[in-house]
Amino acid sequence: MIIVTGGAGFIGANFVLDWLALNDEPVLNLDKLTYAGNLENLASIEQDARHVFVHGDIADAPLLAHLFAQHRPRAVVNFAAESHVDRSIKGPEAFVQTNVVGTLHLLEASRAYWSSLEKEEQQAFRFLHVSTDEVYGSLEPGEPAFTEQHPFEPNSPYSASKAASDHLVRAWHHTYGLPVLTTNCSNNYGPYHFPEKLIPLMIINALAGKPLPIYGDGQQIRDWLYVRDHCSAIRQVLERGSVGETYNIGGWNEQTNLDIVGQICGLLDEWRPLPDGRSYRQQIVFVKDRPGHDRRYAIDARKLEHELGWKPAETFASGLRKTVAWYLEHPDWVANVQSGAYRTWMQTQYAETALA
Ligand code: NAD
Ligand code: DAU
């Protein structure tokens, strides 16, 4: 079996759902259920015996030791993190605690367990750390996309904490020989994305008749990848990636924020036209910029494409259509997230499976 951390969040939940749709190998899902953890994302596998949910913290060393001893995983996939840049600017401490200290404890628990294995099991074991393109800093227009050799130049408390965790993972391989893999992915979008992030926020605000807040001039560039393509890349790196290596993941899809919001408005104009015939674009407002706002990210994914033969299944046009359609088809998920009701639902629904 494998341990997945942060599997009740956006990408982790997509990963667990896809994993169990493709494999019979069980998943132990360790998640602290912060505001970003939502077990409604996993409602479709609620009765699935292959999914064991544990409510807990990756920084809880005794809990980790117990879980490793009890479940004897062949791999750990670490999604657990504080992930929102704006929150990191307002309150950096939680980011250092989970992203740095939490990763340290997960590495240490993995190392202790891995050291106790027979040689063959040791060789097969993997610790896959899920990270971000933001560790590489910000690109100027025309500069080549980030390769795995690009220096680390993190600019926000979030990206600095992720960069620190990437360095820990590297050091645990170099010093102790732990068989690690690291992935650095560009911006994801898709189902179950928490509506504090650009794409779901814009869809939900547009439908609610609220302003669509664009930071600064809206000309910042992000490189967008459909979440299930990120998950397929992680599965390939886990199975066939070279130990100790890092792999960039991205779909060669750079877009300005303003273009992204324009395309969302275009789809909503087509599928949910406003009664007065005007476009949702009228709701766009320009607001104060994010402090230290990175101007451009772009991922060079050739290593992953050439070494492992990975390719994304979605184009941005097809992925965005799926995403907007998903939010239109899941008003209850949106309402529960907005009201906070998903937290109550979690307590009642999962009380028995929670260890902590
Ligand atoms: P998210 O915020 O949606 O989910 C994070 C999950 O981790 C939540 O379920 C939360 O409850 C859990 N968690 C937080 N602290 C924890 C702790 N101490 N112990 C156990 N669980 C904890 O994040 P996401 O967007 O799904 O991102 C997942 C990972 O992918 C993160 O490591 C992030 O840095 C990375 N990443 C995200 C993107 C993106 O565009 N969202 C892109 C590249 C990489
Ligand atoms: O690049 C990968 C990273 O992408 C991940 O590591 C992070 O976890 C993830 O949150 C994301 O970070 P960003 O800061 O790029 O994503 P966010 O959705 O917060 O913002 C995307 C862009 O849109 C960014 O330039 C800021 C801008 N923005 C965002 C919000 C929420 C706005 O203009 N208005 C908004 O209201």
List, for residues 285-335, the tens digit of each pLDDT value: 999 999 999 999 999 999 999 999 999 999 999 999 999 999 999 999 999
Residue 118, classed as helix, strand or coil, is coil
- Alpha-carbon distances of 312 from 79, 167, 316, rounded to whole Å: 20, 27, 10
Give the CATH fold of the 2-190+224-251+295-314 domain.
Rossmann fold (3.40.50)
Query: Using CA atoms, how far apart are residues 251 and 190, in angstroms rounded to an integer?
Result: 14
Whether 18 is catalytic is: no
CA angle 247, 250, 255 (to 5 degrees): 150
d(CA 303, ligand 2 centre) in Å = 25
Mutate to test the pocket of ligand 2, among 14, 198, 226 (most ligand atoms within 8 A of CB): 198
pLDDT at 169 over 80: yes
Mutate to test the pocket of ligand 1, among 4, 11, 39 (most ligand atoms within 8 A of CB): 11
pLDDT interval class at 346 (50, 70, 90): low
Ligand 2 contacts CB of residue 213 (under 6 A): yes
Q: Catalytic one among 31, 40, 57, 134?
A: 134
* Ligand minimally distant from the alpha carbon of residue 130: 1
pLDDT of residue 221: 98
Which pTM does this prediction carry? 0.97
Pick the atom of ligand 2 nearest to 188's CA.
Answer: 4
When pLDDT is averaged across residues 59-68 and rounded to a whole number, the result is: 98
Q: Count the Cβ atoms, other than its own, within 10 Å of residue 27.
A: 24
Tens digit of each residue's pLDDT (9 = 90 or more) over 113-153:
999 999 999 999 999 999 999 999 999 999 999 999 999 99
Residue 221, classed as helix, strand or coil, is strand
CA-based radius of gyration for the chain: 20
Residue where the block lists tokens 């979690």: 346
- Alpha-carbon distances of 232 from 105, 236, 250, rounded to whole Å: 27, 6, 12
Pick the atom of ligand 2 nearest to 222's CA.
Answer: 15
pLDDT of residue 356: 33
Q: Per residue in 128-155, is it b (16+ CB within 10 Å) or e — as a string?
A: bbbbbbbbbbbbeeeeebbebebeeebb
